Amino acid sequence: MIAHGQKLKVTPEIRDEIKSALGHGSRVGELAKVYGFSRQLITLVRKGKFDDRVEPYFRCSGCGGKVTMPCRLCNIRGEM
């Protein structure tokens, strides 16, 4: 499982793992939970449209904002 506040990045290795898993019948939602990415990001990887130079956004479990992790607002508030 992904640790709270851990900054995730889609590396070329992870992108290849996701493509391979999708090719072997894994579902987008399952992979989103396993890797901690959004279903939309997994779909972009599947379609070959994911630009790995852009950091993906995540839903912060502290404040609920759509942010790149770690969440700056929660860090300022001292919630993380």
Per-residue pLDDT of 50-76, as tens digits, reads 776 666 677 888 888 888 778 888 888
Indicate the pTM of the whole model.
Answer: 0.57
- Please count the other Cβ atoms lying within 10 Å of the Cβ belonging to residue 2: 13
- Please count the other Cβ atoms lying within 10 Å of the Cβ belonging to residue 39: 14
pLDDT of the residue at 71:
86
Residue-level length of the chain: 80
Per-residue pLDDT of 7-58, as tens digits, reads 567 788 888 999 999 999 999 999 999 888 889 889 989 998 877 666 667 7
What is the SS3 assignment for 58? strand
